[in-house]
């Protein structure tokens, strides 16, 4: 099983669902098969982050949604393949994201670009996306089209984020649209693919998709809060990276807009930051309730996620609800 699990221990209700460990072992076996190439050197690149670990909550969402059709009994091999496809898309996006950010570490190990160089990291990321597409095609036209559209949405979300880099005037609407594309779209598709491949009725497919979208929004907001409040060790990469890269997320937008504002923070932003400036900016963002303000927004997405599936009476749903209700529990407030 993967080593590095990262922060957000409150995903436990999802990841420790009865039977989930066994289902994720099946995902892991199929995932490792999918990333092996004909060339041992290329395989080192394509397997690098898979072996480093990760929380695997996107495949867990697909499995939980799919388990609605089995009453909690093991899901079909096709649902497991759907779960593999969404993790492959996530992995491909991490490879490309780390090239864009010139990141040195990911999942507690050297990033692919740091170890093998940008050109190889891009190609290995492309390979992972190609594998995801191949698997999705084996699951039917609807799944293939959905995953392709999701990759497009993720690119659009990422471009939206790039367009506001170093812009201290970035507003919340822009932020929410960007994270809808870069993160919530894949979370929604993870649930949707699990539900579609399991053959659930359309109303259940729609309800589970809505859960994934809202949960993905909340997850990204929590991830952005952790960038401001967590340590390097907890994150498996340098804390404050978003601030350093000019990505001003919800807690930062809230801190800048707070009564009295934070002239000191505004004075720091708008340009790349040195290590001591990152520390200073993180302290300023934590100082004035902006973190709790961002948590309120995340909480309302969790509530919407719960409301989307509360009427469904099927296996997996109580644990999805529990996960959404507890997502925020261990985030330290500023």
Nearer Cβ to ligand GRG, position 116 or 127?
A: 127
Output the CA angle 221-80-153, nearest 5 degrees.
Answer: 40
Nearer Cβ to ligand GRG, position 313 or 329?
A: 329
Residue 151 binds ligand GRG (CB under 6 A)? yes
Residue 229 binds ligand GRG (CB under 6 A)? no
**The only residue of 182, 214, 282, 286 in contact with ligand GRG, by rule CB under 6 A:** 182
Residue ranges of alpha helices (H) inside the chain are 12-15, 20-34, 40-52, 57-66, 77-101, 112-116, 118-138, 141-163, 172-179, 185-197, 202-229, 232-235, 241-245, 250-257, 263-268, 275-287, 290-309, 317-326
Nearer Cβ to ligand GRG, position 54 or 194?
A: 54
β-bridge mates for residue 106, sequence order: 109
Q: H or E element: which one contains 103?
A: none
β-bridge mates for residue 110, sequence order: 105
Report, in Å, the least distance between residue 333 CB and ligand GRG.
20
The whole-angstrom separation of Cα 273 and Cα 246 is: 9
Report, in Å, the least distance between residue 70 CB and ligand GRG.
25
Nearer Cβ to ligand GRG, position 51 or 277?
A: 51
Site string for ligand GRG, 53-92 (x = CB under 6 A): -xx-x-------------------------------xx-x
Are 160 and 188 in contact by the 8 Å Cβ rule? The answer is no
Given phi > 0 = left and psi -120 to 50 = alpha, else beta, which region is 275? alpha
Residue 133 binds ligand GRG (CB under 6 A)? no
Please choose, out of 152-160, 168-176, 202-210, 278-286, the segment that lies near ligand GRG by the rule CB under 6 A: 152-160
In the bound state, the residue with its beta carbon closest to ligand GRG is 54
Residue 322 binds ligand GRG (CB under 6 A)? no
The size of the interface with ligand GRG (CB under 6 A), counted in residues, is: 21
Are 95 and 112 in contact by the 8 Å Cβ rule? The answer is yes
Alpha carbon of residue 276 to chain centroid: 28
Q: Counting every residue, how long is the chain?
A: 334
**Phi then psi dihedrals of residue 326, to 5 deg:** -105, 0
Residue 94 binds ligand GRG (CB under 6 A)? yes
> In the range 266-305, which residues lie near ligand GRG by CB under 6 A?
none
The whole-angstrom separation of Cα 99 and Cα 95 is: 7
Nearer Cβ to ligand GRG, position 153 or 319?
A: 153
**The only residue of 62, 63, 75, 129 in contact with ligand GRG, by rule CB under 6 A:** 129
Nearer Cβ to ligand GRG, position 78 or 161?
A: 161
Site residues (vs ligand GRG, CB under 6 A): 6, 54-55, 57, 89-90, 92-94, 96-97, 107, 129, 151, 154-155, 158, 182-183, 220, 223
């Amino acid at each position: 099983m993967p080593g590095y699990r990262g922060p957000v221990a409150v995903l436990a209700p999802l990841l420790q669902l009865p039977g989930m460990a066994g289902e994720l072992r099946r995902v892991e076996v199929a995932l490792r098969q999918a990333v092996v190439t004909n060339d041992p050197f290329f395989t080192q690149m394509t397997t690098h982050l898979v072996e480093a670990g990760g929380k695997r909550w996107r495949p867990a969402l697909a499995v939980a949604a799919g388990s609605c059709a089995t009453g909690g009994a093991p899901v079909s091999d096709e649902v497991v393949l759907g779960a593999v496809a969404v993790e492959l898309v996530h992995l491909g996006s991490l490879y490309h994201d780390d090239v864009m950010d010139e990141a040195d570490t990911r999942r507690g190990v050297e990033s692919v670009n740091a170890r093998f160089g940008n050109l190889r990291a891009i190609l290995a990321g492309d390979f992972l996306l190609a594998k995801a597409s191949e698997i999705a095609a084996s699951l039917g036209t609807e799944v293939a089209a959905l995953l392709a559209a999701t990759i497009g949405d993720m690119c659009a979300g990422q471009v939206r984020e790039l367009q506001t880099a170093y812009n201290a005037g970035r507003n919340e609407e822009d932020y929410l649209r960007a994270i809808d594309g870069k993160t919530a779209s894949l979370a929604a598709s993870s649930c949707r693919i699990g539900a579609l491949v399991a053959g659930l009725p359309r109303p259940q497919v729609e309800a589970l998709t809505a859960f994934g979208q809202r949960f993905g929004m909340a997850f990204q907001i929590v991830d952005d809060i952790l960038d401001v409040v967590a340590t390097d060790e907890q994150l498996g990469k340098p804390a404050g990276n978003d601030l350093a890269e000019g990505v001003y997320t919800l807690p930062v937008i809230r801190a800048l807009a707070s009564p009295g504002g934070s002239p000191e923070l505004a004075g720091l932003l708008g340009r790349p930051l040195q290590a001591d400036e990152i520390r200073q900016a993180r302290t300023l963002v934590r100082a004035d309730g902006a973190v709790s303000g961002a948590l309120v927004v995340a909480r309302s997405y969790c509530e919407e996620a719960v409301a989307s599936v509360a009427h469904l009476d099927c296996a997996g749903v109580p644990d999805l609800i529990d996960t959404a209700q507890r997502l925020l529990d261990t985030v330290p407030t500023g």
